[in-house]
Structure 1
Amino acid sequence: MMQRILIVDDEQSIVTLLKYNIEKAGFETDAAFDGEEAIQKIEQNNYDLVILDVMLPKLDGMEIIKTLRQNKNNVPVLMATALDTELDKILGLEFGADDYLTKPFSPKEVVARIKAILRRSGKTEQPSDFSEIKIGELTIFPEKYEVKLRDEALHFTRKEFELLKYLAVHKGKVLTRDQLLNEIWNYDYVGDTRIVDVHIGRIRDKIETDTKNPNYIKTIHGLGYKLEDPT
């Protein structure tokens, strides 16, 4: 079945350009031209990925992704915007974006990002060697895409789950930021490993009692992170 991409942008020329190149790469596309239309289409259809502009009429991209994640909709999101500030990038990642593009971008780069995100998403849906991974009071269910802490279900975005699972599978090992970046995002961020730190912070907020003195995910200064069993 052909994978379906929703393009959300208020500029018709950009939508037309992206549709042509994405469909040429073998995907089916749909489009929305404002935030309210985007939310409506996402709720009514099953998309494999959403390309989401930040500056939109009626409802901006940040509000859209925030709403999706609050409603536990984990559809992968590739954010695209003319904005290029540190705050915009961090906010997009904080709200649950899977990747981030700054305009102007080449259609080939967009297609490459789409394929990378879908490849990683597909990988998490493959059968796992672990029916569950238990570390302390934390239990991860790879096949169910679930995480529980003391039998309480926690909500994780797709990338948060993939990152936590990777740390858990490699429990006790020091994993560098570059290694985590390559394994989870499968994209060359040219040394920009802040995306890893952002996601680690979000995971800690959900599983740690004290984020300043974490029991599970330890920071190994100058190297990266390590997940330990606190018991």
Structure 2
Amino acid sequence: MIEVQDVRLDPEGRRVWRGDREIVLSRKEFDLVHALISRAGEVVSREDLMRDVWHADFWTSSKTIDVHLGWVRRKLGDDSRHPVLITTIRGRGLRFEVGALDLNGVRPAN
């Protein structure tokens, strides 16, 4: 079981929960979340995601990632304008945040 923020992922059972609510994801959506949450706190490049999730060694279009990411954010309840779970790091890739961010994209001090 992988748990980051209030998201839990069971890699073997291919199940995901946000809090107490199970989130039903498609195969690719699950693979995308797994690729990101298993490296929480790290920036994962779009090239790595295409290779790990879509098993593609060639670069097609970032639209594939963007469309699936939109679906995942919607299902997880992560506002695309102010995401707290999965953030886009321009020019570098995506990151599953290990702690919540405020509306300015800043992680509150503990």
Question: Which one has a bigger Cα radius of gyration?
Answer: 1
SS at match of 2:13: coil
- 2:9 aligned residue (133, 140, 146): 140
Identity %: 31
Structure with more of its chain in helix, by fraction:
1
User: In the alignment, does 2:40 pair up with 1:183?
Assistant: no
TM-score normalized by the length of structure 1: 0.41
Letter in 1 for 2:9: I
Deviations along 1:82-130, one digit per CA (max 9) or x if unpaired, are: xxxxxxxxxxxxxxxxxxxxxxxxxxxxxxxxxxxxxxxxxxxxxxxxx
The Cα shift of 1:199 comes to 0.9
- 1:203 aligned residue (72, 80, 95): 72
Letter in 2 for 1:215: V
Who is 1:218 aligned against? 87
Who is 1:49 aligned against? none
The Cα shift of 1:189 comes to 4.5
Where do 5+ consecutive residues of structure 1 fail to align?
Answer: 1-131
Letter in 2 for 1:139: R
Map 1:81-230; keep pairs closer than 5 Å.
132-230=1-99
Where do 5+ consecutive residues of structure 2 fail to align?
Answer: 101-110
Q: Which has the higher contact order (CA 8 A, sep 6+)?
A: 2
TM-score normalized by the length of structure 2: 0.83
The Cα shift of 1:229 comes to 2.1
Distance 1:190 1:229, change over 3 A: closer
Letter in 2 for 1:211: S
Letter in 1 for 2:21: E
How large is the Cα RMSD of the aligned pairs?
1.4
Structure 1: distance between partners of 2:63 and 2:92: 13
